[in-house]
Structures are given as C-alpha cells and as structure tokens.
Amino acid sequence: MKRVITYGTFDLFHEGHLNILKRAKELGDYLIVGVTSENYDIARGKLNVQQSLIERIENVKSTGLADEIIVEEFIGQKVSDIKKYNINTFVIGSDWIGKFDYLKEFCDVIYLERTKGISSTELRNKSNKILKLGIAGNGRIAKRFVIESKYVSGIIVDDVYGRNESHIKEFSNIFDLNKYYTNYDTFLKNVDAVYIALPHNLHYKYAKKALLANKHVLCEKPMTLQKEQTEELFNIANSRNLIIQEGIKTAYCPCFDKLISIVQSGIIGEIKDIDATFTKLISDKTLREYNCELGGGSLNELGCYPLLVVSKLLGTRPEKVDYISFKDEEKNVDIYTKVILNYKNAVATANVGIGVKKEGDCVITGTKGYIYIPAPWWKTEYFEIRYEDLNNTQKVFTSFDGDGLRYEIADFLSAINTGKKSYKLEEKDSIFISQIIEGINK
C-alpha cells in the first residue's frame, strides 16, 4: 500500500485546496491529511486564520478524500509523522518549492502545481472573506510581498502588473502566478484590491486610478511625496467606502503596537525627546534609491519610519521643522538627512541615510524614564523600559515573523472585511509624513 501525506491550514476552504487533495489522493492508496492547530499557526507566523480547528478539519473531512486526518501541532512533526505512519510520499503545493527538500531523506517529496486563476467571483460566491489582491510592480519589495502573503489566510495573490513585459513575465513565472499584465486597466478588472509597489513618484497616479476603479489600495511608503496628493487619495477612498492604507510595515507589527500603547500609558512620564535613526549603506548607485527622477534619496526612502514614531507619540502639529541634509551632487539625491521637529513641550530628531552609517536605534525620553529600542528598531521585536534605578528595567519581547509584511497585509484585509479603518496607521499619520517630506524636498 502506497501511503501519501499532505498538510495545510485549510481555512476558508476553496477550489485550490480541493484540487491539492484530489491530486494527492491520486498519488497513492491511502491519504493522510495534517491540519494545523491554532497554536502551531501562531508559532509559524500564520495570520488571520478565521475558522476553528474543528471547522477546518470538517472542511477536509467533507471532501471524502482523506482516509485519515491528523493535527499538526509543532515544528518538526512532519518527520515524526512520516516515520510513524510509514509514509511513501509527501505532497505539498508548489508555493513551497524547496522548503521541504529535507524530507527527501525519509520519503519522496512532490510539489504539486497550485491551482491558478481561481476567479474572484467564485471566491466571493463561496465566502466574502477571501480577497483577490493584485500587485502593481515587480521590484524587491514586491518579491517579498508575494512570499509574505502566503502567511495570511483569506487572501490570494495571483495577478501582477508591470511596465516591462519581459521583467513582469519573469516575475510571474518565478512566483507561479496566474497572470501578468502590462495594461493597468485590464489588470484592475481582474482583482479586488491592489498593492502598489512601484517607484515613489508613481504611487499617486496608480493608487488614484485603482480607487477610481473601486479597488481597495495598500500603497507602499511613502504614499505620495505631496500632502495634497495624499489628502486627495484619502478623500476619494472615503467617498467610495474604500480602504487605502500606507505600507509602513513597522506600524503594523505587534511589538511596535505594544510599544506605542505602553508609552501612551504614561509609564515613562511626559515625553520630552524622541531620537530615531534608520540608515543603510547602498553602494550600487544604479539602483532606484539614487535616481532622483524616481523619488530616490534617503528622506523619501526611509523618512517614513522615524516620522511614524514622531506622529504617533507627539502628534502631527510641530511648531517648527528644521533639517540638515548632505547630497550626492552627481545623483542629486540626499545621502543623509537629519530632521528636527520642535513641539510645544518636546523635540524629535529623525535621522536617515543611504550613504552613511549610524547606530539604528530609537530612544524615547520621558520625565520618569526612557524606552530604548535597539537596531533594527523598525523591525520592532524587543525594547527596554529603563529608569534611574536600573534594577527596575523592564524588558518587552514580541516576535517579528518573516519580513514583517504579513502584519500589514493582515491589517489591510481586516479593514476591508470589517469596514473599520486601522488605528495603527491613520489618515492623519500618512498626511503628516507626506507634509514633512514635501516641505524638506522643496
């Protein structure tokens, strides 16, 4: 008897899940299906699972394809299960090509090509909770986005738009997507929402067009480089009951959310100073970050992160804004900028650079103590609450899984499903960030 095993969350069961089980069943005489437990999903960074374990087991059971159903509860269980159940073949979707090659020591490993082109109409007929999201752009962040989207239940990324056909075709093939488009209007007709991952100077144009086509928008940071453009995008979205969010991943990660709440509780007293730094050395000057026509430069590229902290904790109305900036004269972009924001009773400093290196930490200073977030603070997973007496130091840790984009994807999906705008990155925050960037750029 040839025994086959496969695993999955099987949340919001759809045609893609069914096809995997059918094809797995055809590969042997006895099919065992492992359904992930709630705790294991949390441990592996899977977000937004909407059905209970019992419901998800019932999803699999109702197909009549599984000869046996087990629960996957911990990392490494696959090896134990293969030995325990005398498995001949391990089967998983092609989304995970290469990830489970280590199991070849114990059995055959087969990656089944996933079901492409599941229509949004079919998904909506089955459940209002599954979103078909398309990507506009095929750069570095878009690649990370596709990978991170796999960890969010209730969303399918299957379509991509790009301006260069050869590049977008290659991107689609690498990530096994259903369709690629060089016509943005056609692309918009085939998705429910759009992730804008194009160069900074194109965000406004493509986000606006998506909103006018009644599509929800998740736009990479900065949303735009001008305050009025950012305000216009929110006005369009609000008038059409659509969701538009800015993709500053820090804002959505669990530990940063906890950090903001703790500071706002008054635990370190009244805030008097914020100092946040984000620099990264980019030596290749052919990249977008050094192209002024594409909105390059350290402020446009990285300024959103420290300005986010300032907006959340000190508000959006500084009395005065100063800055010091050093430029690459050949490329006409800033390689380092220090922004000083003066408030009525506090001051904040935001330091960003693509051509200099500085300790990338963040310090929030109060009248009772201070909070220290070590580098890379923008991937917040750990911080310390420190006082005059160091014996009273409190350490806070919350995991930051993967590249962090899964958190903003899950938050975006939640906002769409509930109709409630996110408090983690609000309209006023995005407008403030655009305003500061625009003012300094001018």
Q: Do 222 and 207 form a contact (C-beta atoms < 8 A)? A: no
CATH of the domain at 46: 3.40.50.620
Per-residue pLDDT of the chain (442 residues; tens, 9 = 90+): 999 999 999 998 888 899 999 999 999 999 999 999 998 888 888 888 888 999 999 999 999 999 999 999 998 899 999 999 999 999 998 888 899 999 999 999 999 987 766 654 454 445 556 899 999 999 999 999 999 999 999 999 999 999 999 999 999 999 989 899 999 999 999 999 999 999 999 999 999 999 999 999 999 999 999 999 999 999 999 999 999 999 999 999 999 999 999 999 999 999 999 999 999 999 999 999 999 999 999 999 999 999 999 999 999 999 999 999 999 999 999 999 999 999 999 999 999 999 999 999 999 999 999 999 999 999 999 999 999 999 999 999 998 999 999 999 999 999 999 899 999 999 999 999 999 999 999 8
CATH of the domain at 258: 3.30.360.10
pLDDT tens digits, residue range 147-185? Answer: 999 999 999 999 999 999 999 999 999 998 989 999 999
Number of domains in the chain: 3
Same-domain pairing of 124 and 13 = no
Q: Do 263 and 371 form a contact (C-beta atoms < 8 A)? A: yes
Same-domain pairing of 237 and 343 = no
pLDDT tens digits, residue range 247-273? Answer: 999 999 999 999 999 999 999 999 999
Residue 228 lies in a domain: yes
Same-domain pairing of 22 and 142 = no
Residue 431 lies in a domain: no
Same-domain pairing of 392 and 265 = yes
Q: Do 308 and 425 form a contact (C-beta atoms < 8 A)? A: yes
Q: How many CB atoms lie within 10 A of CB 21?
A: 22
End-to-end CA, the chain: 73
Q: How far is CA 390 from CA 159, 383, 394, in A?
A: 53, 14, 9
Q: Domain boundary residue among 112, 140, 162? A: 112
**pLDDT on residue 125:** 47
Residue 45 lies in a domain: yes
- HEC per residue, the chain: CCEEEEEECCCCCCHHHHHHHHHHHHCCCEEEEEEECHHHHHHCCCECCCCCHHHHHHHHHCCCCCCEEEEECCCCHHHHHHHHCCCCEEEEEHHHCCCCHHHHHCCEEEEECCCCCCCHHHHHHHCCCCEEEEEECCCHHHHHHHHHHCCECCEEEEEEECCCHHHHHHHHHHCCCCEEECCHHHHHHCCCEEEECCCHHHHHHHHHHHHHCCCEEEEECCCCCCHHHHHHHHHHHHHCCCCEEEECHHHHCHHHHHHHHHHHCCCCCCEEEEEEEEECCCCCCCCHHHCHHHCCCHHHHHCHHHHHHHHHHHCCCCCEEEEEEEEECCCCEEEEEEEEEECCCCEEEEEEECCCCCCCCEEEEECCCEEEECCCHHHCCEEEEECCCHHHCEEEECCCCCCCHHHHHHHHHHHHHHCCCCCCCCHHHHHHHHHHHHHHHC
Residue 140 lies in a domain: yes
Same-domain pairing of 260 and 375 = yes
Residue 288 lies in a domain: yes
Same-domain pairing of 136 and 57 = no
Q: Domain boundary residue among 399, 414, 437? A: 399
Same-domain pairing of 283 and 386 = yes
Same-domain pairing of 236 and 259 = no
Same-domain pairing of 230 and 272 = no
**pLDDT on residue 58:** 93
For residue 394, list its beta bridge partners: 385
Entry pTM? 0.85
Same-domain pairing of 175 and 238 = yes
Residue 201 lies in a domain: yes
Q: Domain boundary residue among 247, 267, 285? A: 247
Q: Which domain holds residue 241?
A: 120-247
Residue 427 lies in a domain: no
* Exposure string for 212-237, b = 16+ CB within 10 A, e = fewer: ebebbbbbbbbbbbbbebbbbbbebb
Residue 172 lies in a domain: yes
Same-domain pairing of 287 and 385 = yes
**pLDDT on residue 124:** 45
Of the candidates 332, 355, 352, the residue with the CA atom closest to the CA atom of residue 340: 352
CATH of the domain at 219: 3.40.50.720
